[in-house]
A and B are shown apart, each in its own frame.
Chain A
Amino acid sequence: MTDGIAPRDGQGRPERGRANLMAAARAYVQKYWPYERLLPSEEPVYVTRLFYLFGSLALMSFVSLVITGCVLVFKGAFWWHTSRLGLFFNSLHFWSVQVFFFAIFVHFGSSFFTAAWRGGRGMTWMLGIATFLAAVLTGLTGYVAQSNYDGQYIGQQAKDATNSVGLGYVLNLMNFDNMIGWHIVILPLAVALLLALHLLWVRRHGVVPPFPAEGTDLHGTPLATVPGAPPRLPPAPGDGAADGVPARAGERGDAGRRTS
């Protein structure tokens, strides 16, 4: 690294043989998440339909789950059995889960049918699936942690599955002490982390473009033009390296403000 903060020798030259991890990390982040891409104020012309909203609906349901979950924690594990207000917050938590998984399934469906993994977006897809898996485990441990008949029956029934793969000891569905730790600490952290990475990767590559329309390439550019025809879909100012963002070889146009 030869930028401003890379280690320098006595003559002010970059020091050799010592990689500066922070400088490398910064370069990586600057390359893939410039502010214009991280916090975009424009989206591609094809982002118009309602199905795009279900990703953020899932995100906000998760926020709702965290908030209502915190309130349930403040009052202890038996509040919702004994108080109307407690039961109301339990209900908010319960319905947030339902909305969360509904939104996730619609988001999954729309991502599948638009083949959202195209164009180097495989990691975004995998992070989404991993988020769902962590969420499923969070849901299961939550059902058991209700400390009611649901918890008894589901824990006693589902233990055979965790036992069968040898996980019964670390994920003992009949042990409230064990369940509550997984449900309110480990698994929500995993969901939050995976969700954050998923969102970062969505920002990094942008929303997947539609399959090419008849006679255009993947960016809406007509493949054959005739005199007098409109040139292409409305272009936006600035492109790729012109924004001062280095582009990776073979990914010309990967960088730039219109990549959201």
Chain B
Amino acid sequence: MRKRTTWESSDVAWRGGTRPYDLIREVLISGLAVAVVVVGLSLLFASPDPPPVTFRQWAQQGPTDFLGTTLAELDGTSLSATYGPPYQGTSQNGSTQGFGPLSPEKWFGQTIPVSAFQDYVVRPLHTLPGPNRLVDAALRRWAAASSAQQTRWSDAYTRALSHASFARGYRVPPGPYGPLGVIMPAQYLLARSGGLDHALVANPQDASTWYSNDQTFALLYMGDSGQGGTAPSCINAGQPLPPGGGCWYYNQAVANAAPRYAGYLAGSRWGVINEVGNWPGAWWLFPYSFWYQWGPGLTSASADLWAMIMTGLLTLVVLLLPWIPGLREIPRLTRVYRVMWGDYYRLAARLQPVRPRRPRARPETSR
């Protein structure tokens, strides 16, 4: 019986017929094809380049959301203030992704220290020009206050924000806001002036960051908008923007408003594989994004770790596929190769000897 030589290494090289083939020509033709397609698509469709969003725009278009988020940074309740590793240590009330003992976040701990109050508020406000003893004193008073006192001031200010007016300068009704009565307008004005955008990235108080292009603080701060994207004002694709600019940062992703492009997050959960407008996104990430569509990826607080683990396992399976019984037989069983190598099989059939048929043992019954 013929041995089914399919996976053995004895058949590494082809010993059958060959034909002339110019690999250099193949590569040149491929290069030309790529050039034509790429230049053509670029001329026809260009590429997406939506300008970045800024704190200046945020304070202008969604002042209540900006100020509410800033309050959460001050009292340490925002998403990034309670993120856990790598921004805070595990002991600092941070959330940590993990399945039992499997928690790489915990293993590595705090590697990018972030203190929302210090990094988003105190350091930027220290860049204000001129003598700002009032602001300094307010920041010191806030830092020295008890947690309960901070919560009382913060709650009072949160209530006041719903009555805030921005038409002719920023105003809130008088109330027991403590130092927030100074800190909040100062932070708002710094954001409106554009100064906060720079103070968060290359803080002039710290010469060592003069060359910095590290947007970690800025993007974490923005990501805290709309209670980290969970507020009722956060819309889905197709919904109108809420009045007052609530959940401003996240709503930019789905807003049908220039200079943003509609549909960025259409099909929301597929997230990073999408692109603004109608341009194709990073669709090749689907073997990763797939894991967010079901099971722990939908519901677990460790959805990201789940997706990464499953992507890792999938990668391992694909890497080792040649050695996995069953999976490696799929190509042979599906017989798609008969179509792909149609030329070869037709040639082989033509060149094969016709084997004499054995006489049938019994005559076939007529039907």
Contact = CB atoms under 8 A, between A and B. Distances in A.
Contacts of B207: none
A244 interface: no
A208 to B, nearest CB: 9
B12 interface: yes
Interface in A30-62: 39-49, 51, 53, 56-57, 59-61
A32 to B, nearest CB: 10
A136 interface: yes
Contacts of A60: 27, 30-31, 33-34
A254 B29 CA distance: 30
Contacts of B8: 119
Given A90-B49, A91-B47, A233-B348, A207 B12 contact: no
B358 interface: no
Interface string A77-104: 0001100000110111111101101001
A175 B272 contact: no
B18 to A, nearest CB: 4
B13 A206 contact: yes
B331 to A, nearest CB: 4
A258 interface: yes
A44 B105 contact: no
A36 B76 CA distance: 68
A255 B336 contact: no
Interface residues of A, number: 126
A57 B337 contact: no
Interface string B251-294: 01100000010001000000110011001101111001000000
A216 B349 CA distance: 10
A177 B213 contact: yes
Given A41-B21, A56-B26, A155-B219, A251 B9 contact: yes
A92 B38 contact: yes
Interface in B31-62: 31, 33-35, 37-39, 41-42, 45-53
A149 B51 contact: yes
A209 B13 CA distance: 8
B41 A158 contact: no
A17 B26 CA distance: 47
Contact of B50 (A150, A205, A239): A150
A115 B337 contact: yes
Contacts of B271: 157-158
Interface stretch (A8-16, A160-168, A186-194): A160-168
Secondary structure of the B contact surface, majority rule:
helix
Contact of B34 (A61, A156, A219): A61
B171 to A, nearest CB: 31
B212 interface: yes
Interface in A239-260: 239-240, 250-256, 258-260
A59 B305 contact: no
Contacts of A94: 42, 47-48, 279
A198 B134 CA distance: 65
Interface in B302-357: 302, 304-305, 307-308, 315, 318-323, 328, 330-332, 334, 336-337, 340-345, 347-349, 351-356
Contact of B304 (A45, A122, A164, A210): A164
- The size class of the interface chain B forms with chain A is 35 or more
Contact of A114 (B9, B48, B337): B337
A168 B14 contact: no
A221 B15 CA distance: 9
- Residue from A59, A133, A149, A217 whose CB has the most chain B CB atoms within 10 Å: A149
Interface stretch (B106-114, B125-133, B233-241): B106-114
B67 interface: no
B16 A233 contact: yes
A250 B2 CA distance: 19
B191 interface: no
B37 A95 contact: yes
B321 A117 contact: yes
Contacts of A223: 2
Contacts of A146: 49
Given A114-B341, A139-B282, A45 B213 contact: no
Given A114-B331, A164-B305, A168-B111, A149 B260 contact: yes
B38 A165 contact: no
Given A45-B344, A114-B337, A217-B5, A253 B13 contact: yes
Given A56-B26, A104-B284, A156-B219, 8 more contacts: A41-B23, A64-B31, A139-B284, A160-B304, A161-B288, A174-B218, A212-B5, A220-B348
Interface of A: 39-49, 51, 53, 56-57, 59-61, 63-64, 80-81, 87-88, 90-96, 98-99, 101, 104-105, 110, 112-115, 117-122, 125-126, 129-130, 133, 136, 139-140, 143, 146-161, 163-166, 168-169, 172, 174-178, 180, 205-207, 209-226, 228-230, 232-236, 239-240, 250-256, 258-260
18 contacts: A40-B21, A64-B31, A94-B42, A113-B331, A117-B322, A130-B319, A136-B284, A148-B52, A156-B223, A166-B107, A168-B112, A169-B86, A172-B214, A206-B12, A207-B14, A209-B14, A218-B5, A218-B11
In the A-B complex, list the 10 residue pairs whose CB atoms are closest, starting with the nearest: A229-B353, A117-B322, A166-B104, A213-B348, A120-B9, A220-B16, A169-B111, A91-B42, A43-B21, A259-B13
